[in-house]
């Protein structure tokens, strides 16, 4: 498999950190693809995009940028020249002028979706029971233990900031639609992917396939890498 000098940058979503991508990193490495997980502070969309840009500045050559969940808004907001393709994994893709909240709350919530509210610091934590009920219902007990232990809260500032012209209007994009998602409605995912004109891969996976179905996620990312390297 020829992947040229294309690198992959992986971006975590809310209530997670870079370790959520560990299985995908291992699988990409096995296929000869270099991957870096970008750390986000989750303090505001502006701060998160700035943090992603700092990671992208360190990468030489073309990049395929992949984001999970909330990180879809982050990867769509960078303007880095070295980003040649975008991969959305059960991710949010607000259009120009929209906020993360606009698309997250667009459809009816799943009956098992958690009720979210900020604490006194303006931070939103995911209730422990929500990890098994909605965030990663297909995960093992061990995986759920780690997800809960490393969760990072997301600031309300992240979800209320309108985005500018998203990068997916100018770059090819792929979208892994999670049909068992209890956090982001599959109907909302289909809506976003369609208006993005993304290349859609629909699978019976939960909201966090980067943990529970890493082979599927890796295959989609590799497809994007091959498309970039073939140019």
**Which two three-digit tokens encode residue 132?**
């098994």
| pLDDT at residue 1 tops 50 | no
The pLDDT value recorded for residue 230 is 84
Question: 3-class DSSP state for residue 149?
Answer: helix
The pLDDT value recorded for residue 3 is 66
Q: Cβ distance 179 to 171 under 8 Å?
A: no
pLDDT digits (tens, 9 = 90+) for 155-201: 999 999 999 999 999 999 999 999 999 999 999 999 999 999 999 99
Query: φ and ψ at 126, to 5 degrees?
Result: -90, 125
pLDDT digits (tens, 9 = 90+) for 67-78: 999 999 999 999
d(CA 16, CA 152): 6
Model-level pTM? 0.97
As a whole number of Å, the end-to-end CA separation of the chain is 15
pLDDT digits (tens, 9 = 90+) for 2-48: 567 999 999 999 999 999 999 999 999 999 999 999 999 999 999 99
Percentage above 70 pLDDT, the chain: 99
The pLDDT value recorded for residue 86 is 98
The closest of 40, 46, 47 to 67, measured between CA atoms, is 40
2, 25, 174 from 101: Cα distances, Å: 39, 29, 22
Average pLDDT taken over every residue of the chain: 96
The pLDDT value recorded for residue 2 is 52
Q: Which residues contact 111 (CB under 8 A, 6 or more apart)?
A: none
Q: Cβ distance 85 to 171 under 8 Å?
A: yes
Q: Which residues pair with 146 in a beta bridge?
A: none
The pLDDT value recorded for residue 107 is 83
Mean pLDDT of 86-109: 95
d(CA 64, CA 8): 5
Q: Is domain 7-229 given the CATH code 3.40.640.10 in the classification?
A: no
Q: Cβ distance 85 to 64 under 8 Å?
A: yes
Q: Cβ distance 84 to 170 under 8 Å?
A: no
């Amino acid at each position: 498999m020829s992947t040229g000098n294309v690198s992959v940058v992986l971006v975590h979503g809310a209530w997670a950190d870079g370790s959520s991508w560990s299985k995908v990193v291992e699988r990409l490495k096995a296929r000869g693809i270099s991957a870096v997980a970008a750390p986000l502070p989750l303090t505001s969309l502006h701060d998160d995009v700035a943090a992603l840009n700092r990671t992208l500045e360190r990468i030489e050559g073309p990049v395929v940028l992949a984001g999970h969940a909330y990180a879809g808004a982050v990867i769509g907001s960078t303007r880095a020249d070295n980003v040649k393709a975008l991969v959305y994994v059960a991710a949010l893709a607000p259009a120009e002028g929209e906020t993360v909240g606009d698309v997250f709350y667009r459809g009816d919530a799943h009956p098992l979706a958690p009720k979210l509210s900020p604490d006194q610091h303006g931070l939103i934590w995911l209730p422990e029971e929500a990890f098994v009920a909605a965030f990663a219902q297909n995960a093992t007990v061990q995986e759920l233990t780690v997800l809960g232990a490393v969760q990072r809260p997301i600031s309300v500032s992240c979800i209320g900031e309108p985005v500018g012209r998203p990068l997916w209007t100018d770059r090819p994009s792929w979208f892994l639609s999670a049909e068992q998602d209890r956090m982001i409605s599959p109907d909302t995912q289909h809506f976003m992917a369609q208006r993005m004109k993304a290349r859609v891969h629909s699978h019976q996976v939960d909201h966090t396939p980067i943990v529970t179905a890493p082979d599927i996620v890796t295959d989609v990312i590799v497809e994007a890498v091959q498309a970039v390297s073939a140019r």
